[in-house]
Amino acid sequence: MNIVMGKGRLEAFSDGVIAIIITIMVLELKPPQGTEVADLAGVLPGWLRYALSFVYVGIYWVNHHALLARVTKVDGAVLWANLHLLFWMSLIPYVTAWAGEHPLDSVPGALYGVVLLLCSISFMLLSWRLECEGHVAHAVSWGSRKNRVSIVLYALAIGLSLWYAPLGAAAQVVLALLWLIPEADKARQ
């Protein structure tokens, strides 16, 4: 059975899931144990990781919206590709909490990086699927320089996290900044 439908339900469902992801992340934040300014130091790593994750989720939400703005209909394969993206994004609160509580430990930082890498790959798969089915022309391609650089940097960040977790986190910040900077041809439109 081949499903073909308007994009409205896909957008509404995706927006709802992304809103829940952000809500879960903020609920994982721990308040300081005391009431002094110095007590903030103990929770600062978790808050910083939350801020980074919020930016990443925001980047995916904005790019998801931009991608679907050019689409009128979706099929079953697109629905599954979108669910694949949402699955990896739904793990962001878990890895955010773990890496935030253990900012100097390699495995939580590396797993955070793995989830970010898989979110990136799944977004590219969704874009590719939309382009293959003719739902959108010129979607974000696997071959774009920004995507190739991102995949390499995500993998590098995982390796750096295993070696020295704060260095891996720094690479993840650089990646977020890379995606916050608009591409030259998109900025002119």
**pLDDT tens-digit map of 72-120:** 889 899 999 999 999 999 999 999 999 999 999 999 999 999 999 999 9
H or E, element range at 75 = strand 73-75
pLDDT at 122 over 50: yes
Q: What is the pTM of this model?
A: 0.89
H or E, element range at 6 = strand 4-6
Nearest-10 Cα torsion for 29, 151, 120, 99: -20
What does the pLDDT read at residue 13? 96
Crossing angle, helix 92-101 and helix 76-90, to 10 degrees?
20
Distance, in Å, from the CA atom of 99 to the CA atom of 151, rounded to the nearest integer, reads 21
Mean pLDDT (whole number) for 41-63: 94
What does the pLDDT read at residue 189? 40
Evaluate the CA torsion angle 87, 88, 91, 92 in order and state its sign: negative
Of 134, 125, 127, residue with least CA distance to 84: 125
Confidence label for 183 from pLDDT (cuts 50, 70 and 90): low
